Structure 1
Amino acid sequence: MGQKHSISLNKHYTITDLLMDKRNVLDNRKYECSICLELLYNKQVFQCREGHYSWTDAITTSSKCPVCRVTVKSIEELSRNRFVEEEFAELQVVCPFLFSNILDITNIDERVLESDEKNGCKKIMKAGELEEHLKKCEHRYVNCLNSDCPVPVRSNETKQHAEHCDYSPLECIYCSNKFTTGSIEKHYLECQNIVLSCEQCCTKLKRSELSNHIDNECPNSIVFCKYKSTGCLGQFKRTNEATHLNEINHTVFMTKYICGLEKKLEESNVKNEEILKTLSSMLEQLKHNNSLLKKE
């Protein structure tokens, strides 16, 4: 089993999803970047000489303040607005691991986050404390301890999950080969070292030996008389073979069988003679045709 690695939440939520006082924050637009309209969370905020502010990357891609249109030639012409940064950092937020479907979001513009009241993180904190909290949150999603398992697991549930995980490693107690919880049952249906009972005689033996035992050894297996080819259709348990041979006079079957072979042999001889006559006739005809060709 490997170490637990937190699963990235990039693009699965925005800070807006976590704000406790979301409506007021969005309505007054105080913490909104004037260029990209994103909230100024965890960013360095700069303002133009007229006091309009944006976060660093946004304002450096624009040559003018989007509000007053004053020209901004370089970042050095702007002043840092630490007051807004610190004020935003004081806003109350919830942990994104409160939500049960935080990792299922594919379209962030159409998402509906669902609170997990039973297993989700209930902590409320300042926005400035969020990043540090995410690193150690006991409810954060991490990779399963089993490297092949694709299921994200909450950090405080990894052991419980591993007990039922289909990818937990297991060793077959019969052959010592390695499998997983999800595949071991199928293997047990095929493992050649599993000891089984013969249904006929209850003898214990490995699965790999069972077929040969039934076909050639089991005293209770039903077998045909060894003179079946001569016409005896007797069937009995292997252990009763001697009794059958003593009770039935197989000379009759053997005599009839031999007579049948002799008749077939005679029929074959007749057919062979006919074939030889036909071949001889064809040969004579070929010789005759050949002599005619030479005369021409």
Structure 2
Amino acid sequence: SEDFMCQICSEIIYNKLMRQCLNGHVFCEECWKSSLVRKKECCVCRVPVKSIDELSRNRTIENLFLKTKIHCPFSLEQVNFQIKDENGCKEVLLVENLKSHMDKCLFQIIDCKFSKEGCTKRFKKQLLEDHIKECEYRFISCSDCGMDFRISYIPIHSSECPKKSVPCIQKCYKNVVRCEMNKHTDNECGNTVMECKYKEAGCEKRYLRKNQNVHFS
């Protein structure tokens, strides 16, 4: 309604202070400030106004506006707020309750929670959880070490995770935790090449650990 629009900037008076001159001409505080920079007078009736402090607030129009019923802004398409979104919010509420509603409205358009990581997707708040499940920038925990990584980095991390169980590098057919691989090859692996314990006595034979009994038999 034009009754709730500033007559200078033509904006709705939501979240605006409305001030009036001595003759009752009402504009938003921002427009009054801009106007008084140019001339110290009301731009309609020319009554002198030395500063913004001389102007009283028009609480009547402010309060009337707060008690006005409106459709949630998210009932309209975000690209063009003049077009109704058939899948948008259906709420009709008082202006004074608008902010608290909009803060939690499931039809508001939001950025992905991983926008700082690079995700550029925007969607209705009610679709957030569905998007997070498949967002390529989301973080998940490594099943082996428990640390969190972006899902796209998981294959790289998996190839170097110290807690991941991998096949023995000497192909003994045992799986070993990567960070314990040296311990395994030094002390356990049957395919580790051993020197005879009697080398100093002259034995130059080398054998696989799994064949140790054969060597000493």
Q: Same fold (TM over 0.5)?
A: yes
**Contact in 2 for aligned 1:172/1:178 (Cα 8 Å):** no
**Contact in 2 for aligned 1:171/1:178 (Cα 8 Å):** yes
Q: Structure 1 CA distance, aligned partners of 2:107 and 2:64?
A: 27
Does the alignment pair 1:164 with 2:141? no
The match for 1:38 is: 11
How many pairs does the alignment contain? Answer: 179
SS of match in other structure, 1:46: strand
Cα distance 1:42–1:189, how it changes in 2: closer, same or farther (>3 A)? Answer: same
SS of match in other structure, 2:3: coil
Structure with the bigger percentage of helix: 1
User: Could you list the runs of 5+ residues in structure 1 that have no partner in the other structure?
Assistant: 1-24, 103-110, 218-296
The Cα offsets for residues 193-233 of structure 1, whole Å up to 9 and x where unpaired, read as 655679xx893445977xx9xxxx5xxxxxxxxxxxxxxxx
Does the alignment pair 1:126 with 2:94? yes
The match for 1:135 is: 103
The match for 1:144 is: 113
Corresponding residue to 2:30 among 53, 57, 61:
57
Q: Structure 2 CA distance, aligned partners of 1:202 and 1:164?
A: 39
1:167-178 superposed matches below 5 A: 167-173=138-144, 175-178=145-148
Cα distance 1:146–1:30, how it changes in 2: closer, same or farther (>3 A)? Answer: closer
SS of match in other structure, 1:183: helix
Q: Aligned partner of 2:59: which letter? A: R
Cα distance 1:40–1:180, how it changes in 2: closer, same or farther (>3 A)? Answer: closer
**Contact in 1 for aligned 2:139/2:148 (Cα 8 Å):** no
Q: Structure 1 CA distance, aligned partners of 2:64 and 2:91?
A: 20
The match for 2:205 is: none
SS of match in other structure, 1:83: helix
The Cα offsets for residues 43-92 of structure 1, whole Å up to 9 and x where unpaired, read as 22222233321122322442221122222224454443333223333444
Corresponding residue to 1:81 among 50, 53, 58:
58
Cα distance 1:125–1:149, how it changes in 2: closer, same or farther (>3 A)? Answer: farther
Q: Structure 1 CA distance, aligned partners of 2:149 and 2:167?
A: 25
Cα drift, residue 31 of structure 1: 3.1
Q: Structure 2 CA distance, aligned partners of 1:91 and 1:133?
A: 15
**Contact in 2 for aligned 1:65/1:71 (Cα 8 Å):** yes
Report the TM-score, using the length of structure 1 for normalisation: 0.44
Report the TM-score, using the length of structure 2 for normalisation: 0.56
Q: Percent identity?
A: 30
User: Which structure is higher in RCO with an 8 Å CA cutoff and minimum separation 6?
Assistant: 1
Cα distance 1:205–1:95, how it changes in 2: closer, same or farther (>3 A)? Answer: same
Structure with the bigger percentage of strand: 2
Does the alignment pair 1:184 with 2:154? yes
Cα distance 1:167–1:89, how it changes in 2: closer, same or farther (>3 A)? Answer: same
Cα distance 1:98–1:53, how it changes in 2: closer, same or farther (>3 A)? Answer: same
The match for 1:93 is: 70
SS of match in other structure, 1:30: helix
The match for 2:199 is: none
- Two-structure CA RMSD over aligned residues (Å): 4.5
The match for 1:269 is: none
User: Could you list the runs of 5+ residues in structure 2 that have no partner in the other structure?
Assistant: 186-190, 192-217
1:184-223 superposed matches below 5 A: 184-188=154-158, 203-205=173-175
Cα drift, residue 159 of structure 1: 3.9
**Contact in 2 for aligned 1:172/1:179 (Cα 8 Å):** no
Cα distance 1:147–1:80, how it changes in 2: closer, same or farther (>3 A)? Answer: closer
